[in-house]
A and B are shown apart, each in its own frame.
Chain A
Amino acid sequence: MPWLSLVTFLPILGGLLVAALPSSMARLSALAVSLVTLAVSVPLWFLYDIGPKAPQFQLEEKLPWIDAFGVSYHLGIDGVSLLLILLTTILTPIIVLAGFSGVEKGHKGYMALMLVLEGAMIGTFVALDTFVFYLFWELVLIPMYFLIGVWGGERRIYAAVKFFIYTVVGSLLMLVAMIALYAKYYEVHHAWSTDLFDLLSVAEQVPFGAQYWMFAAFALAFAIKVPLFPLHTWLPDAHVEAPTGGSVVLAGVMLKMGTYGFYRFAIPLFPAAAIEWGPVIVGLSAIAVVYGALVALVQDDIKKLVAYSSVSHMGAVMLGLFAFTEPGMGGSVYQMLNHGVSTGALFLLVGVLYERRHTRAIADYGGLSAVVPGFAVVFMIVTFSSIGLPGLNGFVGEFLILLGAFKYAPLPTVLATTGVIFGAAYMLWAYQRMMFGPLSNHENQTLKDLNPREWAYLLPLVALIFIMGLFPQPFLDRINPSVEALLGRIEAHYDQSPYASTGIPGWLTDAEQKGE
């Protein structure tokens, strides 16, 4: 059974179906489609073999597509893509359910676009052909552009256009780099191919100087998406203006497309160049962690605060990824999932408040725990998850990242650790200002607590926060073999980097000795 095609195209076709049905049925039909997609994606967890087959790609599907360019419709997953697919399919019904209120005009279009977006994002996670990947990568832009531009806030047009242009600049340069790689393949094999496996086999034959710039082109596209400091400026705009569902999907899944791109394409294709660029990216990641946290500290708009916290958290993810150690990379992938769950939940909570009070200013709240105790409890759990309290999911990822990165880059890691402390500060401070203290604003006195629908979409996330915090092993079992396979590839190409002669990175020689 073509599971991956099914889980990719079910929401896209479902979205078109929702668009075709009358408006009155839009909400329920969208929920049904997203739940069916979830139901179809759950078997993937069990079908994915974590035994000896684990490091390989599984559930592959391959069909010829555009012969003239050697494009094949090639899908397949490893442990990392598996978990990101599940993150997407779990978040989407939650977003759809949250969108039952708060989306006033044209909710049919909103629901339809959300489902198309889900399918396109899953497409980027399952594609093993670079052409197919690029197709989905760009396709994601269109629904998101409309979600921000049509259903967003005051400066929605500015934010939507900025989001689109930023991404496209990076993607087009990546496209040129991809094509340069195809040309290399043609040079070697006298045939075209855009298949990732084929390209992996020729990428090492590209001269290092060219690899260096090809990696840079890929990295630019992905770093914009992550977004890595200093390319992050589109994110706060997009987050603040986007409707709640848009923010959740943006923070929850779309940013992971950037880190996933590094993991799946940029690093494996050009491992030597990745090592060469490593210090730059690690440095920027550490800056992002601290910078994001410091900027978040001074925000008076709660949504902007969460947006900058995303910059900070995604910086940590990048730090772990470019540590090139198993705990670092594994933790980085784990943190991708955590960030999706906890930041998604934060945006949902902000949305709940915004729908009731139509303000996002922290100063307009205060003492809410007295009137909305249920909300306050959920908010507290999510806050603790976001700051990495042991026992909750955030801790596992952050700990692994810092552990893995410290060995390679002690200074940036120490810097990033202070960022984590700032992270605790801004979240707790915001929580304190909003939930505790005197209930001074009389408009807040009649605030209603969470209704059953809101409980219904928040509880699964709370459950995930606990499950992923207390039982990380099933997840790590799926992540680690895949990460090890990538590390193996990096080590095999380590010699190609000019670094090899300088002998600077002791961490890599350590890893080699360990491997022998």
Chain B
Amino acid sequence: MGTDLANWLFLVSPSLVLFAGAMFLILFEAIVRPQNQGSLRLLSMLLTGVAMLLTVVVWGQANQAQEIFYGMLRFDHYGLGFQGVGLLAGFFALLVSHEYLEALKIRVGEYYALVLFGLFGMNLMALANDLMMVFISIEVMSLSMYILCAIKRSDPRSVESGFKYFILGAFASGLLLYGIALLYGASGSTSLPALAHTLAAGEPGPLVMVGGALVLAGFGFKVGAVPFHMYVPDVYQGAPTAVTSLMSTGVKAASFAALGRIILGYMGAGAANWEGALWFMAAATMLIGNLGALVQNDLKRILAYSSIAHAGYMLMMLASVGNEGAAGREALGGLLFYALTYTIMSAGTFAILTLLVKNGSDDTDISRLSGLGHSNPWLAAGMSICLLSLAGIPPTMGFVGKFYLFAATVQSGYTGLAIVGALSAAVGVYYYLRPMVYMYMKEGHPHIHPNIWVSGSVIIACVLMFALGIAPNEVLDWAEAAVRTVIVG
């Protein structure tokens, strides 16, 4: 027993580091002078880095998937993969936070502790194997995000963002919880494998159908899927950009990780047919996300809609998971790979947006970029690479990711969905080109001064995008290995 516990603690050590670090930062922040908050950033980056390192260390332990903490968590490569993606998202967000917060005149030391708490929640979500655990980790993550959105108290838009996110998020949590309760009523257990087992036994009753629908709605909110996407543009725009970056990448990846596990439990058992619902959700999310972005003039809103669209691409994968056997696994591998891809390219873009601050508040109108191609050619090139990758143009990682998505979708027999995806991606190209039009084809004096942290994160993002666009072999193998251990029961 004792050795079990010690081993379990070792396996979740990345999360423990984050939790302990967040606790420490709350105390430590009290003795740090506001002007020295750069040290908090370094400390939290260090902790995230250690957590990433530990994730790599425990990776080998997951060759044999195991349930730990009495079935609350499932320790496998799939969870660890998403955990790594979440940590990477956190790392990118932290990297650019300090200068951005200074520019916004936000000097709240709790910021860094909250980010770490959020990452802690994401880590647990990736591993959660029990609906209660799923719910608790979602709440840990979401509560941090609610506060982070509203962290600029003097700015009405930031407060609106936090408030909106909180009210709607709380509502979504309520739906999720209700759904969990119904599923518990149907099966007598909240454990995912037990649930899958019960569902496999017989025809799904109304409790299962309604409960499943409510769970899907709750997650639909978290990932910003149509028709639960209404809040996304407002919340993403109002929140501080670094927080938006984390929301669009880490939160999304973690939510998809948990949703993937739940759906796999359902579909693998063949108990309930969610494919139709997911099909329409994916198609609508891709289309509305891409169409909505066309008419926006604010870069953060454009990226918010783009993030809805990308949620749609990832939902396409979940719809394809229903296919049994190799194709279903292929789809989950695609989900993991795309989560990583989207994290890198989105974080790179948001890093540049953190520079668009004027007089202490965000000014992210697209015209701010006018003439950037001439005044800051390197920064403009970085932005263009991120945008082209988001648009899925080769030879960037975004193309490989999209290729993987479409391949898995077509292989699962959803050619129609892939065609919807392809067409909506073509629509998307228009708004990804627009910032480039402003940067290169319009005159202007952008007054944008990159700092070393932003440049660093853009360089990291661009190098990764090209390297993984041209030589993705290792990471693809890694993603495929990650989903090999996931199949429940």
Contacts and interface: CB of A to CB of B under 8 A. Distances in A.
Given A138-B394, A172-B423, A176-B415, A182 B437 contact: no
Contacts of B441: 149-150, 156-157, 160
A69 B404 CA distance: 8
Contact of A176 (B404, B406, B437): B406
A146 interface: yes
Contact of A139 (B394, B415, B422, B476): B394
B455 interface: no
Contacts of A131: 403
A172 B422 contact: yes
A175 interface: yes
B437 to A, nearest CB: 5
Contacts of B440: 146, 149-150
B207 interface: no
B324 interface: no
B472 A142 contact: no
B313 to A, nearest CB: 12
A186 B411 contact: yes
Contact of B393 (A142, A146, A179): A142
B429 A66 contact: no
B448 interface: no
B257 to A, nearest CB: 21
B410 interface: yes
Contacts of B476: 66-69
Contact of B388 (A69, A142, A161, A186): A142
Identify whether the interface residues of B are mostly helix, strand, loop, or mixed: helix
Given A138-B393, A146-B440, A183-B411, A164 B422 contact: no
Interface string B401-417: 00110110011000100
A139 B400 CA distance: 14
Interface string A65-77: 0111100000000
A42 interface: no
B362 interface: no
Contacts of B393: 138-139, 141-142
B429 A179 contact: no
B418 A179 contact: yes
B361 to A, nearest CB: 29
A103 interface: no
A414 B241 CA distance: 64
Given A135-B394, A156-B441, A69 B403 contact: yes
Contact of B430 (A149, A156, A165): A165
B473 interface: yes
A240 to B, nearest CB: 16
Nearest to A134: B394
Contact of A157 (B403, B429, B437, B473): B437
A137 B440 CA distance: 23
Given A134-B394, A173-B422, A183-B410, A165 B403 contact: no
B460 interface: no
A172 B426 contact: yes
Interface in B420-476: 422-423, 425-426, 429-430, 433, 436-437, 440-442, 472-473, 476
A180 interface: yes
A67 B473 contact: yes
B407 A69 contact: yes
B395 interface: yes
Given A68-B476, A145-B433, A161-B437, A176 B410 contact: yes
Contacts of A157: 437, 441-442
Nearest to B405: A179
Nearest to B395: A135
Interface in A125-142: 131, 134-135, 138-139, 141-142
Given A66-B473, A69-B403, A141-B393, A165 B419 contact: no
A311 to B, nearest CB: 23
B410 A172 contact: no
A168 interface: yes
Given A135-B394, A141-B393, A169-B423, A149 B437 contact: yes
Given A68-B480, A150-B440, A176-B419, A164 B394 contact: no
Interface in A152-200: 156-157, 160-161, 164-165, 168-169, 172-173, 175-176, 179-180, 182-183, 186
A179 B433 contact: no
B164 to A, nearest CB: 33
Given A67-B473, A145-B433, A182 B426 contact: no
Contact of A180 (B410, B425, B426, B437): B410
Nearest to B425: A172
B394 A175 contact: no
B472 to A, nearest CB: 6
Given A68-B480, A169-B426, A173-B422, A138 B399 contact: yes
A67 B415 CA distance: 23
B477 interface: yes
A131 B469 CA distance: 13
A164 B388 CA distance: 12
Contact of B429 (A150, A168, A183): A168
A507 B407 CA distance: 39
Q: By CB atoms of chain B within 10 A, which of A145, A164, A168 has the most?
A: A168
A196 B332 CA distance: 28
Contacts of A142: 388, 393
Nearest to B392: A172
20 contacts: A66-B473, A67-B473, A67-B477, A68-B480, A69-B407, A138-B394, A142-B393, A149-B437, A160-B437, A164-B429, A165-B426, A165-B430, A172-B423, A172-B426, A173-B419, A176-B418, A176-B419, A180-B415, A183-B407, A186-B411
Interface of A: 66-69, 131, 134-135, 138-139, 141-142, 145-146, 149-150, 156-157, 160-161, 164-165, 168-169, 172-173, 175-176, 179-180, 182-183, 186
Given A160-B437, A176-B406, 6 more contacts: A67-B476, A149-B436, A149-B440, A156-B441, A175-B403, A179-B418
Please provide the 9 A-B residue pairs with the shortest distance between their CB atoms, ordered closest to farther: A172-B422, A68-B476, A169-B426, A135-B394, A179-B410, A183-B411, A149-B441, A168-B429, A168-B426
